[in-house]
């Protein structure tokens, strides 16, 4: 066996091992942590019902308290306890979202890929249509360098990768100047390369390490999200034997580049 074949088999073996370890971790998240979370949800709801009962009787109980006790009791029942319960419920929901994100990432890493020749021009246009309202509202100029190279890949995966990258490009444009997004691609001997370039906010160099880390987000946090979109996209790209990278300059814009192995069906992406 040639050295390069050994290296490739080694990488595939390591990838499979990583997947098994992540699968075990996801099992712990879905079972061992789910039960206490359900208990927290249930008992915080019970406390909420009990608090409503106490609050409805508060006016009739206050006259029986000393003048020195009334303010503290009123504040505790009408402000402190409800605020604490609201914080608990918000935190439980946040933990639940995190756990669901980890489980989704686990499922993505084990997705059964269906390879076919894809018209990337059509896929990109389809994604842009789903974002048409946001593109129209922001008056974004989108330039697709046709024709994009075709690629053999999983359709659902490619669509999700494009949705994540193009949506980020639209959402994080700089409102102080007209938005411009450029999409292009090229094919070489070993892989097919696609890029999405924008003139948006850009990312500070000290924040670059965050963008592909789970639950981390870079820059100003004025849009909802858990910080998992690029993590999902990176996982799907890796399943196709490729990589997802970003080059960015704060205040100038960003370029996301992802590659798809040209021999992914022969093991480049280790689909099984």
Domain boundary among 109, 125, 141: 109
Helix (H, G, I), strand (E, B) or coil at 37: helix
Please name the helix (run of DSSP H) or strand (run of DSSP E) that holds residue 142, with its range, or none.
strand 141-144
Task: Provide the pLDDT for residue 270.
Answer: 45
CA distance 23 to 26: 5
Residue 53 backbone dihedrals phi, psi, to 5 degrees: -65, -45
| CA 55/CA 74 separation, integer angstroms | 9
Q: pLDDT at position 271, please?
A: 42
Tell me what pLDDT residue 220 has.
63
- The answer to whether residue 8 is domain-embedded is no
Q: Are residues 68 and 201 in the same domain?
A: no
101 and 48 belong to one structural domain: yes
In a domain, 175, yes or no: yes
Residue-level pLDDT at 7: 60
6: in domain: no
What pLDDT was estimated at residue 116?
A: 93
Both 120 and 91 in one domain: the answer is no
102 with 37, same domain: the answer is: yes
Domain harbouring 169, CATH code: 3.30.565.10
Same domain, residue pair 92 and 126: no
Same domain, 97 and 125: no
Q: What is the pLDDT of residue 56?
A: 84
pTM: 0.71
In a domain, 43, yes or no: yes
The residues pairing with 234 across neighbouring beta strands, listed in sequence order, are none
Angle at 195 between CA 119 and CA 176, to 5 degrees: 120
Domain count, the chain: 2
The answer on 166 and 204 residing in a single domain is yes
CA distance 60 to 82: 20
Q: Is residue 5 part of a domain?
A: no
User: Domain containing 64: what range?
Assistant: 31-109
Q: Are residues 78 and 197 located together in one domain of the fold?
A: no
Same domain, 180 and 161: yes
Which tokens belong to 149?
């190279």
Q: Are both 198 and 256 inside the same structural domain? A: yes
Query: Are both 130 and 243 inside the same structural domain?
Result: yes
Rg (CA), the chain: 25
Residues 58 and 127 occupy one common structural domain = no
Residue 232 placed within a domain? yes
Domain-ending residue, one of 58, 79, 109 = 109
The pLDDT assigned to 248 comes to 92
pLDDT of 159: 95
Query: Digits of tens for pLDDT over the chain (272 positions)?
Result: 455 555 656 655 655 665 666 666 666 666 677 788 888 888 888 888 888 888 888 888 888 788 888 888 888 888 888 899 999 888 888 888 877 877 777 777 777 888 999 999 999 999 999 999 999 888 899 999 989 999 999 999 999 999 999 999 998 898 888 999 999 999 998 899 999 999 988 888 888 888 887 766 665 665 656 678 888 899 899 888 899 999 999 989 999 999 998 886 544 444 43
- Inside any domain, residue 241: yes
CB 110 within 8 Å of CB 23: yes
The verdict on residue 247 lying in a domain is: yes
């Amino acid at each position: 066996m040639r050295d390069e074949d050994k290296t490739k088999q080694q990488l595939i073996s390591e990838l499979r091992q990583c997947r098994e370890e992540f699968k075990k971790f996801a099992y712990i998240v879905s079972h061992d942590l789910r039960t206490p979370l359900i208990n927290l949800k249930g008992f915080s709801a019970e406390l909420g019902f009990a608090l409503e009962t106490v609050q409805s009787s508060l006016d009739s109980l206050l006259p029986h308290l000393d003048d020195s006790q009334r303010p503290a009791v009123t504040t505790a029942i009408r402000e402190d306890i409800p605020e604490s319960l609201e914080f608990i419920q918000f935190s439980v929901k946040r933990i639940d979202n995190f756990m669901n994100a980890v489980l989704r990432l686990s499922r993505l890493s084990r997705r059964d890929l269906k390879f076919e020749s894809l018209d990337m021009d059509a896929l990109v246009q389809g994604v842009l249509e789903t974002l048409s309202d946001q593109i129209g509202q922001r008056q974004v100029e989108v330039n697709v360098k046709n024709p994009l190279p075709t690629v053999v890949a999983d359709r659902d995966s490619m669509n999700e990768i494009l949705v994540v990258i193009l949506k980020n490009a639209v959402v994080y444009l700089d409102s102080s100047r007209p938005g411009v997004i450029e999409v292009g691609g090229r094919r070489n001997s070993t892989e097919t390369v696609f890029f999405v370039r924008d003139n948006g906010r850009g990312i500070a160099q000290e924040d670059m390490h965050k963008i592909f880390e789970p639950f981390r987000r870079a820059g100003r946090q004025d849009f909802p999200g858990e910080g998992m979109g690029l993590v999902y996209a990176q996982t799907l790209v890796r399943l196709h034997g490729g990589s997802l990278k970003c080059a960015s300059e704060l205040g100038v814009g960003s370029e996301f580049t992802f590659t798809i192995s040209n021999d992914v069906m022969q093991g480049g992406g280790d689909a099984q």
